[in-house]
Amino acid sequence: SQQGEEDPQALSIQEGENATMNCSYKTSINNLQWYRQNSGRGLVHLILIRSNEREKHSGRLRVTLDTSKKSSSLLITASRAADTASYFCATDNRDDKIIFGKGTRLHILP
């Protein structure tokens, strides 16, 4: 069954605005990670957040995790054209099985 589901599927915002993407999952997890994928390239790791953590920051990125709601959000502040990409969440369950969501396509408008 699908574990991670990103929302929205696609998002277009003006350069300089903040972008928020959400990820929901169904079963208990050990860790959650966010990845970025530029067109024609492999996925690049952004942030790892463990199940006992609630918030992590990395530069312009902020990730939150709410295990009671089984959801996570990725906030990109002050977006830039280079942020245009697809963003995926990935979770692992107690059996270490990794499942990726279907991704959010983010488009930054000039």
Binding site residues, another protein, CB under 8 A: 30-33, 35, 37, 40-45, 48, 86, 88, 90-92, 96-100, 102-103
- Give the integer Cα–Cα distance in Å for 60 and 78: 7
Pick from 62, 80, 74, 76: nearest CA to 16:
80
CB 74 → another protein: shortest distance, Å? 15
Cβ proximity of 26 and 72 under 8 Å: no
CB 31 → another protein: shortest distance, Å? 4
- Give the integer Cα–Cα distance in Å for 27 and 10: 25
CB 73 → another protein: shortest distance, Å? 17
The nearer residue to another protein, 44 or 109, going by C-beta atoms, is 44
- Give the integer Cα–Cα distance in Å for 64 and 95: 23
The nearer residue to another protein, 76 or 101, going by C-beta atoms, is 101
The nearer residue to another protein, 42 or 59, going by C-beta atoms, is 42
The nearer residue to another protein, 18 or 45, going by C-beta atoms, is 45
Cβ proximity of 55 and 65 under 8 Å: yes
